[in-house]
Chain A
Amino acid sequence: MVEKWLRNSLLVFMTIMVVNTCVFTQCNTSYNQSQSLKIANYDIEVHLDHKGKSASCIQKLNWKNTSPDTLRELRFYMYMNAFKDLKSTYLKNTRKMFGQDLKNRTKKEWGHIEVTQAVDRNGNDLVQNQEYIQPNDGNALDETVLSIPLEMPLLPGEVIELDMNFDVKLPRTIVRSGYGPRDFFLFVHWFPQVCVYELKVDGNWGWNSHQFMPGTEFFSDFGDYNVEIYASDHLVIGGSGCKTFSGKVLGTIGEQLVRFQAHDLIDFGWVAYPEYETYTSTYGDTDIEILMVPEHYAFADRYLKAIEQSLEYLEKHVGKYPYPKITVVDPPTHTLNSGFMEYPMMITGATAYGIPRSVRSVESLVIHEFTHMYFMASLASNEKEEAWLDEGFVTYFEDRILDHYYGNQSSLFDVLGARSGNAQQSRNEYVSMENPNLGKIARPGWEFDGGFKSLIYAKTATAFKTMERIIGSDIMDEIIKTYFERYKFTHPKEADLRKIIKEVLEKNTSNFDSDKYLNQVLHATSSINFKMVDINNSTKTIEAIREGNFEIGTEVLIMFKDGSSKTVNWEGSEKHFKHTFSSSKEVISAHIDPEQKIYLDLNLNNNSITLDPNKKPLYKYAAKLGHWLQAVSQWTSFMM
């Protein structure tokens, strides 16, 4: 109790010591600050030791038991311990990551987190009995989940408050979290975070507390965050939430306090780097803050435009952006592996000097990560067990947004006549897999042994695109809007999404069999390749086959020589399609799925046969290759 009093007194003292002429950057406060159940709430005071690459922290946790169970322990994610050494489950089979050799790391380059105190309302320090547990693999050397037994059982509906102290040491950046050269710090998944106590699929309540496993991301409860960061004033600090206070601390030499406040987040991340230049803007009700490294300043407008386009598109097609602000962090090149990631109200991009505007890698990344504010931050599905639920939707919308603003043939790049749309890229990533039947999508991340990105991101996005083309974009939008409105600030599962899909389809009297479709996409390894085999005008037949076990119906467009046409339905269950046409007219071409609705089709080129092919493009590209040979010959003969 004395310690607690001393700590609170110190907090008050420190606050008073901060000068009054501080900078306030309060966000728009008109937004709804009470959108979730606010189960896990954190007040964290951070004292950053930038030389030691570590922080001493005081955390006041307020956690509500919303289950019908009486709890006798709390479980915490201790993600930073995954980077303690190569014995953690996350790294035990990894020797290289992002091109870095991990096995030669010095002790200083590893990170860890340790809870040194956890005092409950009655003054009991619970750390005496804390222990690391390994619910997934039993690896005793893995310390990414901490169990803290409670002195007093926590009854249903009760709230527990814990005053915790913890020390966190950052690793040299491995994956995102960590420190880089020249005082770069990214604190993400850096504090003891309560695992989720949830209603399981079997109807029982229990902890969802997976170790930090390879191929997985994160899952946690919503709550409010008040974070105060004491750090050297040479650092520029940004983070999730709204910066409510920023100023020097009186009585200290070169120390600053930055205070953040955020409501209804599932996590809080922050970044510090001396060289950041801050760009701010507002779009509608949303404040946008971009932290740029100086050599990338020319990209600030590209970041900003991508955020504005995302906001415009997502607010129209999904729902109102649920937060007052977004912070975009541009990682310096020397710590590029801290980029490419999403955190609630904060995303990290990645760029490099000189990327031309016609190569939209920057835009596609920013749009992808920003879309996670809807699918991850707000619709907080379990990224460990059902990664496709957020990454699939995010990639689908990344494709839609990029293609909408930059054209579906050229949204990703358009260089010297070669171009690609973003949705084309997603589809290609899936269909060019060595084995598209590698595994099913709906399974936990740690069960993947290859093909994670191609299946979770690309195949899911392509499957949603296929569904959109079959049922129509208006109905697809209605499904997503309903899903977002009904499940935002909760933890939706596949069953919840399916329920919404069926409901909206029924409302629109669509006969699309969503259960059959999703079962094949998510829970089977089947693929599909329609193939037109033959047009025979003497027997008056056309023949086609469906390779793969994915059953879906489509149409076949038959064109006659006189310019007339006929559309025939092909039921999905038949693998072989034979159609005899009675007309006396001569068939000139036959095209399966002429509108390319079945975007999951592994090869769209063999969907059709024409007896009068247009050979002009073949001549064109052959001539181009011939000419490039002439040019290359001429160039290289300078060496002779």
Chain B
Amino acid sequence: MWNKIIDISSKATKQWKSILLIYGVQLVLGSIVAVIAYRQFNGAIGSSLELDRLANGFDRSIFSDMINKFPVIIEHIQSRFALMVVLFLMLSIFLHAGLLSNIRYGYYSIFKYFQNANIYFFKFLKVVLISLILKIVVLAIIWVPFFMLIGDPLETFHSEKTLIFTVIGLVILSALCLIVIWLWSVLSRYHIVDENRLLVSMKSGWRLLISNFARYYIVGCGLILLHVIITWLYTLVVDDWGAETWFTVLALVIMQQLFSLIRIWIRVFGYSAVND
């Protein structure tokens, strides 16, 4: 078991060029948002002595006064943030095409990455669209009846505990279903690399998933769990750091970027595990 994990880790690590590429794309988009945010904040409170107060930690009054006075700041940052996320999602189809084909063929070069990404992009796009539709249908099947039947939740449920646990249960069920679809889509994409035929690949992907369901499912759930743990660790470790010195600011940025890199490595580890 441990040998397998070490072997997969090693394969994932060997994909460091792909990891850095994906990280680089995320970093560029993140930096765009960061620069926009900096400019907006600087324009609003950049010459205020209140910044000294903010250096010692979060101060709600400073942010709320800024937003009250310049509500457009938040709207601007929000819209750019959403735009960058959508842009990354579109790019991620291409990035996945290169990454998955590299993992499948055992390639590690960036040249091969781009070459295969170019080859498989449209087929992967079709898989993504099909899986997206499936995900929407599954979510609708789970949630629409809930919202239709629930009425006024405070009137319907004797105790909010029932409501809270029902919602938690449905969220977990949704996640479990989405993991199945996601695994199917990843396995289908691996088959596309092998067979180059969409429907046949999707069929093969499904068969493979069913034949090794427990194994794949553990990998899928583990991957999600690791992402949750990483986010929790991040908020625990660095979310409340101040900005007393340039060193703390720099340390914060380095720590943040380490977390980002680890997240991508974990994803590549997951893909390698599914491939194995």
**Please, what's the 1-or-0 string for A425-453, where 1 marks a CB less than 8 Å from any CB in chain B?**
10110011000000000000000000000
Cβ contact within 8 Å between B235 and A417: yes
List B contacts of A606 (CB < 8 A). Answer: 48, 69
A425 to B84, CA, bound (A): 32
List A contacts of B47 (CB < 8 A). Answer: 609-611, 613
**Which residue of B has the minimal Cβ distance to A100?**
B152
Cβ contact within 8 Å between B256 and A428: no
- Determine how close the nearest CB of chain B comes to the CB of A460; give it in whole angstroms: 18
Cβ contact within 8 Å between B50 and A608: yes
Contact of B240 among A417, A424, A608, A636 (CB under 8 A): A417
- Determine how close the nearest CB of chain A comes to the CB of B220; give it in whole angstroms: 10
Q: Does A234 contact B (CB under 8 A)?
A: no
A99 to B155, CA, bound (A): 11
**Which residue of A has the minimal Cβ distance to B168?**
A354
A621 to B44, CA, bound (A): 14
Cβ contact within 8 Å between B260 and A619: no
List B contacts of A99 (CB < 8 A). Answer: 152
List A contacts of B224 (CB < 8 A). Answer: 638
Cβ contact within 8 Å between A618 and B33: no
**Please, what's the 1-or-0 string for A622-640, where 1 marks a CB less than 8 Å from any CB in chain B?**
1111110111111111111
Q: Does B143 contact A (CB under 8 A)?
A: no
> Are A613 and B46 also in contact (CB < 8 A) when A333-B157, A639-B135 are?
yes
Q: Does B4 contact A (CB under 8 A)?
A: no
List B contacts of A639 (CB < 8 A). Answer: 89, 132, 135, 178, 182
Contact of A623 among B34, B54, B66, B160 (CB under 8 A): B34
Cβ contact within 8 Å between A609 and B37: no
Cβ contact within 8 Å between B89 and A637: yes
> Are A622 and B34 also in contact (CB < 8 A) when A182-B158, A636-B85 are?
yes
List B contacts of A623 (CB < 8 A). Answer: 34, 249, 252-253, 256
Q: Does B166 contact A (CB under 8 A)?
A: no
Cβ contact within 8 Å between B33 and A605: no
**Please, what's the 1-or-0 string for B236-264, where 1 marks a CB less than 8 Å from any CB in chain A?**
00011111111011001100110110011
Q: Does B164 contact A (CB under 8 A)?
A: yes
A627 to B256, CA, bound (A): 6
Q: Does A456 contact B (CB under 8 A)?
A: no
A613 to B55, CA, bound (A): 11
> Are A616 and B85 also in contact (CB < 8 A) when A417-B235, A421-B60 are?
no
Between-chain CB contacts (< 8 Å), 16 pairs: A417-B235, A417-B240, A421-B60, A424-B60, A431-B65, A605-B44, A616-B244, A616-B248, A620-B241, A622-B35, A623-B34, A625-B37, A626-B37, A634-B26, A638-B178, A639-B178
For the complex of A and B, the 6 pairs showing the least CB-CB separation, nearest first, are A626-B34, A626-B30, A608-B49, A622-B38, A620-B243, A617-B54
- Give residues in A with beta carbon < 8 Å to B: 99, 181-182, 293, 295, 332-334, 336, 352-354, 409, 416-421, 424-425, 427-428, 431-432, 589, 591, 594, 602-611, 613-627, 629-640
